[in-house]
A and B are shown apart, each in its own frame.
Chain A
Amino acid sequence: MDILSLFVIVPVLTIIALLFTKGLKQARLVSMVGSIFQLGMAINLVIAYFKERAINDSIMVFTKDFVWFEQFNIHYSIGVDGISVALIVLTTIVVLAGVFISWKMADLPKEFFISLLVLSTGVYGFFISIDLFTMFLFYEIAVIPMYLLIGIWGSGPKEYSAMKLTLMLMGASAVLMVGIFGIYFNSNADGGALTFNILEIAQVNIPFEAQKLFFPLTFIGFAVLGALFPFHTWSPDGHASAPTAVSMLHAGVLMKLGGYGVFRVAMFLLPEGTIHWSWFFIILAAIGVVYGAFGAIKQTDLKYINAYASVSHLGLVLFALLTLNKIAWNGAILQSLSHGLLTAMFFALIGMVYGRTHTRDIHKLGGLMKIVPFIGAIYVITGMAYLGLPGFSGFVAEMNIFVGAFQNPDMFQRVLTVLAVSSIVVTAVYILRLVGKIMMGPLVNEDFKNLPKVTWYEKTGILLLLIPIVGMGVAPLWLSDMIMASLDPFIKGVL
């Protein structure tokens, strides 16, 4: 069995195993084992990747290809490069952390974990696919469980949020689908056969007219999942209503599909379209960065704050991608990883706070540091990492983005870059406001005096996320090299 397909098979097997479990204890045990196994596979994958990369300099390694629908030239064809490897590792970490965080899932635990794993299956599949069809397939597999996850286990206006999220993402995939068709039916521009295979299409020079037409469709189709302004409104509501683990997976992993898809499909396959349109979308992205940050300032619900922060940070990813610069791209990927971990961490913490105090309104919270110092300390650390403090992942990513974005002497882009850079101050504002409000200051509510201690599984989940955050921040070299090495094929197209 090849190393990549395992990432689809193992979750599926876990799901099947889950079908036969009874009650919470078995369910969480099974899913924990499964997720740990996935993490192991991911680590193994990284090692194997470096080994393979040393001897193999093709764009994708570990490629496997099985014909699926011959008539359409649809293949189940998989492969990874540094980018996807990094994102897969991220996914495994977040999934495992999510399992730990939802250790006490009371209502329909079995179904919960199944949906969670279905989601992760979709994500893995998406990251390993190099065939547009399977990519799209896995994309939708990843999106649809969100409906149930939010709807059943969510809180607040969950039905509304779930429906909104699902419909907006599916609407996006409507646009995306047309884009994919456009690419597909132009993939024979050089007289070859029609194909969905990304690597093959990348060799084809799709006519400029087609690129101009289909780039926006493809881009928007994916970017909606990346919370591109003004299509981001699904995410705050979705996050706010979703249960903790789901918010973690969603903001931490699922939203990364957007950026990844934009990069891997829209920009990689339609380079001329990218150049032609980048000026427009980069404006949207830059707006998103600042807009999200300011939006976060005013919110009072912890999850909303974080959701808007995500809009801002993922806006940074799209922004970086559209600056069409290698360093910035590297930064974009790093940012995806870093934001994935950080925001997952944040949601985990919010979940822990909410689980204890039963409120997410920052005006009702305060002085928790004294009561639950662990949460407090981690909260501060995460906040600091989030606002790009050196020594944590966020800084590395942002610096790459800014330095990269600045490499383009074009005045217009400079201005946007400065705009984007200025968001770090705003970030500082809302993060400190948040931390100062809920963790520090006098204790606002006497009932908080005896909140339950932090449990081992919560700690495990948190540490799982914290370690890579610090790791990335302290020693970014190997990671950024791994990604950098994979960026060259993209460069060829765009620059």
Chain B
Amino acid sequence: MNFTYIILIPLIPLVSFLLLGIFNKKIKPGISGYIGVAGLSTSAALSFYTAYTYFFTIGKVDGVYQTFVEKITWMNFTDTLAIDMGILIDPISVMMLVVVSTISLMVHIYSRGYMKGDDGYTRFFAFLGLFSFSMFGLVLATNLFQIYIFWELVGVSSFLLIGYYYTKSSAVAAAKKAFIVTRFADLGFLIGILIIGYYTGTYDFETLNNPEGSTILNWASSSFMGLSIITWALILIFMGGAGKSAMFPLHIWLPDAMEGPTPVSALIHAATMVVAGVYLVARLFPMYYFVEDGFALNIVAYVGAFSSLFAAIIAITQTDIKRVLAFSTMSQLGYMMLALGVSGYDGHEGVGYMASMFHLFTHAMFKALLFLGAGSVIHAVHSNYLKDMGSLRKYMPITNITFLVAALAISGVFPLSGFWSKDEILVAAFEHNKLIYFVGIFVAGLTAFYMFRLYFGIFWGKNTTYKHTPHESPISMTFPLMILAFISIFSGFIPFSELITPDKAGFEAHLNIPLAIVATIIGLIGIGLAYIFYKKENDLADRFSNAFGIFYKWTFNKFYFDEIYLFVTKKIIFNRIAGPIARFDKKVVDGTMEGIGNKTVVISKKIKGIQSGKVQDYALSFIAGAVVLALVFIYLWTN
């Protein structure tokens, strides 16, 4: 089967990016919107076609899904070590293709309404194109270096899109923060790659992931500080993933990233880019699983679990709706990581892996939906803050319904997509690690609670009086909402366990009824609480928060993590390191050079007296010179 045409999927957005980027001023906004949408829909069509052919036309060959690779050498290091560029087709990449292209297309369509009249309209679509290109490239990467390359590219496009309103200094700051934090994480990623490259002699996923491959079998060959060097590499690589996927403690950039336009948040910071970290771990799953009995994988699990809890708690107290969603995203990503962390490899063992991918898929859909909904709300009320909202259901019904669907989905209410994926995750957790399971279940409750806090806060709650009455968004914005809502409802019935498993063989998934019931109940409790607190305008919430007092305050300030980072960067890096170095450079290093020069001049001033102008002194020195030479060379320095 020939998959070369897949190369078009990334290339088309790239072309549209170059087109819109270079002829930025020449192209009329309307046109550029169409160009973007057209390009993306082509890519999307191709992706769907690919998915169809891959899963159903070709299907399994002797029980497993095949992996197709097409690549060319991009740069040689040694005759063995090289960077390839190419496409790798296997279940998860195909799945990701679908996710990315769907969301991206939706966002493109949505943006045509949302960004209307913005003077950077064309630029916006250009950046979207760039992002889509990079994301596709990342998904299709055949080796670590390629994935790193596109990893950086999505990073920069995220930077550009967060900083889209570049005249707003807050946006610029957020963009900088996002880029630098992820960059710092990528440092780990890069070093990990270097280690892998050196010790395994390849960057190729196929070779690395082969359970019978040398990499996985000889992981113990070299060790460093008690751990296998490969484990170190995996941990470092996970650091990169954690950076992109906003895992604790590298999460701080994500909330600020909400400075970007809402469609961007939907696309990049909810659905696609942020899951790159999860995807990376999934990509290297065999290594994580087999090397040193999954030591690194456990780290993944715990980090994921903690992040999801941490984020969920914070999400409860935030008042900026986009930030609530941001923390929710972080929490859900933690969920996925957690699922990966508790997954096994063969057959039904791999349920965690499957669940994680499943949740990635469903979450992408309903989280994008949530963001786009929030976007349309913001579009209507021109504010991000709950206090400016309330009882919007009257004004914007479609948004209301779709948002509700998404909220229910994420809260894991039967039979929406979220229910299925979340359930699988909990199953996996339950089977492997009770602690993590309890965390998960607790987080599920929290999720339901803050989601509906949000929902009620926006669409019900107090009767806000608006300056100019908000109205439903144009069709270009509501259409994607409906599509996504549709998917969020039904995508739960996709038989993921058949399609995507670590061993690519698939297995028969069956619903674990007791766990499902528990989960649902917890979810409903959360919703119920939210209903009590926020359905009608009342002061329960405030009393609660006052009751929690200091804890509330801490949560509200996101446990002061930004402040800590600020301290580190400003106080330590800038003032304690860079400052002294700059001064050292001026005073000491430069000073020495200066000193040499100045000394010379000073000496020359000091000794000018020798040239006294007295002919007799000259004579004296003349004779003295002669005599001294004579004495020296007759008596002392004789040879």
Complex interface: chain B residues within 8 A of A399 (CB) = 75, 83, 145
A421 to B78, CA, bound (A): 20
Closest to B575 in A: A298
A109 to B403, CA, bound (A): 68
Choose one: B166, B183, B195, B592; the contact of A440 (CB below 8 Å).
B166
B197 to chain A, nearest CB (A): 6
Complex interface: chain B residues within 8 A of A387 (CB) = 183
Comparing B61-69, B168-176, B300-308, B447-455, the segment that makes contact with chain A is B168-176
Residue among B172, B577, B589 having the largest count of chain A Cβ atoms under 10 Å: B172
Complex interface: chain A residues within 8 A of B197 (CB) = 403, 406
Tell yes or no: A442 within 8 A of B by CB: yes
Inter-subunit contact A295/B194 (CB<8 Å): no
Inter-subunit contact B574/A298 (CB<8 Å): yes
Residue tally, chain B, CB below 8 Å to A: 50
Inter-subunit contact A441/B578 (CB<8 Å): no
From 379 to 434 in chain A, residues with beta carbon under 8 angstroms from any chain B beta carbon are 380, 384, 387, 389-391, 395-396, 399-400, 402-404, 406-407, 409, 417-418, 421-422, 424-425, 428-429, 432-433
Residue among A297, A298, A480 having the largest count of chain B Cβ atoms under 10 Å: A298
Inter-subunit contact A424/B81 (CB<8 Å): no
Inter-subunit contact B166/A369 (CB<8 Å): yes
Knowing A389-B156, A477-B74, say if A425 contacts B180 (CB, 8 Å). yes
Comparing B147-155, B254-262, B286-294, B555-563, the segment that makes contact with chain A is B147-155
A238 to chain B, nearest CB (A): 12
Complex interface: chain A residues within 8 A of B597 (CB) = 164, 167
Specify the main secondary structure of chain B where it touches its partner. Answer: helix
A472 to B76, CA, bound (A): 14
Inter-subunit contact B187/A298 (CB<8 Å): no
| Interchain Cβ contacts under 8 Å between A and B, 10 examples | A233-B593, A291-B585, A298-B581, A327-B77, A369-B166, A380-B160, A384-B156, A400-B75, A440-B163, A484-B76
B139 to chain A, nearest CB (A): 16
Knowing A295-B581, A298-B574, A403-B197, say if A422 contacts B187 (CB, 8 Å). yes
B595 to chain A, nearest CB (A): 12
Complex interface: chain B residues within 8 A of A369 (CB) = 166
A428 to B185, CA, bound (A): 12
Inter-subunit contact B194/A406 (CB<8 Å): yes
Closest to B582 in A: A298
Complex interface: chain A residues within 8 A of B176 (CB) = 432-433, 436
Q: 4 new A-B pairs (CB below 8 Å) besides A389-B153, A390-B152? A: A295-B581, A436-B163, A439-B166, A440-B163
B341 to chain A, nearest CB (A): 27
From 572 to 598 in chain B, residues with beta carbon under 8 angstroms from any chain A beta carbon are 573-574, 577-579, 581-582, 585, 589-590, 592-593, 597
Knowing A327-B78, A399-B145, A442-B167, say if A477 contacts B73 (CB, 8 Å). yes
Knowing A370-B167, A402-B194, say if A424 contacts B582 (CB, 8 Å). no
Tell yes or no: B326 within 8 A of A by CB: no
Choose one: A389, A404, A422; the contact of B152 (CB below 8 Å).
A389
List the 3 shortest-distance A-B pairs measured between CB atoms, nearest first: A390-B149, A440-B166, A298-B582
B32 to chain A, nearest CB (A): 16
Tell yes or no: A299 within 8 A of B by CB: yes
A229 to B579, CA, bound (A): 18
Inter-subunit contact A403/B187 (CB<8 Å): no
Tell yes or no: A145 within 8 A of B by CB: no
Closest to A387 in B: B183
Tell yes or no: A23 within 8 A of B by CB: no
Knowing A233-B585, A440-B163, A477-B76, say if A432 contacts B194 (CB, 8 Å). no
Tell yes or no: B551 within 8 A of A by CB: no
From 16 to 47 in chain A, residues with beta carbon under 8 angstroms from any chain B beta carbon are none
Complex interface: chain A residues within 8 A of B76 (CB) = 477, 480-481, 484
Inter-subunit contact B163/A390 (CB<8 Å): no
Complex interface: chain B residues within 8 A of A493 (CB) = none
B591 to chain A, nearest CB (A): 9
A307 to chain B, nearest CB (A): 11
A292 to chain B, nearest CB (A): 9
Closest to A290 in B: B581
Tell yes or no: B324 within 8 A of A by CB: no
A408 to chain B, nearest CB (A): 9
From 173 to 191 in chain B, residues with beta carbon under 8 angstroms from any chain A beta carbon are 173, 175-176, 179-180, 183-184, 187, 190-191
Complex interface: chain B residues within 8 A of A326 (CB) = 78
From 162 to 176 in chain A, residues with beta carbon under 8 angstroms from any chain B beta carbon are 164, 167-168
Closest to B577 in A: A294
From 431 to 469 in chain A, residues with beta carbon under 8 angstroms from any chain B beta carbon are 432-433, 436, 439-443
Inter-subunit contact A403/B169 (CB<8 Å): no
Choose one: B78, B81, B179, B578; the contact of A298 (CB below 8 Å).
B578
Inter-subunit contact A395/B183 (CB<8 Å): no
B205 to chain A, nearest CB (A): 18
Closest to A433 in B: B176
Choose one: B78, B81, B582; the contact of A299 (CB below 8 Å).
B582
Choose one: A295, A380, A422, A440; the contact of B585 (CB below 8 Å).
A295
Complex interface: chain A residues within 8 A of B184 (CB) = 425
Tell yes or no: B198 within 8 A of A by CB: yes
A289 to chain B, nearest CB (A): 13
Inter-subunit contact A297/B578 (CB<8 Å): yes
A9 to B64, CA, bound (A): 68
Closest to A427 in B: B183
A384 to B180, CA, bound (A): 12
B413 to chain A, nearest CB (A): 42
Complex interface: chain B residues within 8 A of A390 (CB) = 148-150, 152-153
Complex interface: chain B residues within 8 A of A471 (CB) = none
Inter-subunit contact A428/B166 (CB<8 Å): no
Inter-subunit contact A425/B187 (CB<8 Å): yes
Contact with A along B52-93 (1 / 0, CB 8 A): 000000000000000000000111111001010000000000
Inter-subunit contact A403/B579 (CB<8 Å): no
Knowing A167-B597, A424-B183, say if A297 contacts B574 (CB, 8 Å). yes
Inter-subunit contact A441/B169 (CB<8 Å): yes
Inter-subunit contact A404/B578 (CB<8 Å): no
Complex interface: chain A residues within 8 A of B167 (CB) = 367, 370, 440-443
A283 to B297, CA, bound (A): 36
A171 to B172, CA, bound (A): 45
A384 to B179, CA, bound (A): 11
Closest to A477 in B: B75
A391 to B179, CA, bound (A): 17
Contact with B along A325-364 (1 / 0, CB 8 A): 0110000000000000000000000000000000000000
Closest to B183 in A: A428
Complex interface: chain B residues within 8 A of A436 (CB) = 163, 172-173, 175-176
Tell yes or no: A230 within 8 A of B by CB: yes
Choose one: B180, B194, B590; the contact of A403 (CB below 8 Å).
B194
Knowing A425-B184, A441-B169, say if A230 contacts B75 (CB, 8 Å). no
Complex interface: chain A residues within 8 A of B166 (CB) = 369, 439-441
A421 to B160, CA, bound (A): 24
From 583 to 639 in chain B, residues with beta carbon under 8 angstroms from any chain A beta carbon are 585, 589-590, 592-593, 597
B123 to chain A, nearest CB (A): 9
Residue among A391, A400, A436, A476 having the largest count of chain B Cβ atoms under 10 Å: A436
Inter-subunit contact B153/A298 (CB<8 Å): no
A233 to B169, CA, bound (A): 34
Closest to A398 in B: B190
Complex interface: chain A residues within 8 A of B582 (CB) = 294-295, 298-299
Complex interface: chain A residues within 8 A of B149 (CB) = 390-391, 395
A443 to B194, CA, bound (A): 42
Complex interface: chain A residues within 8 A of B573 (CB) = 297, 429
A433 to B172, CA, bound (A): 10
B90 to chain A, nearest CB (A): 23
A132 to chain B, nearest CB (A): 27
From 286 to 314 in chain A, residues with beta carbon under 8 angstroms from any chain B beta carbon are 291, 294-295, 297-299
A295 to B582, CA, bound (A): 5
A119 to chain B, nearest CB (A): 23
A439 to B590, CA, bound (A): 31
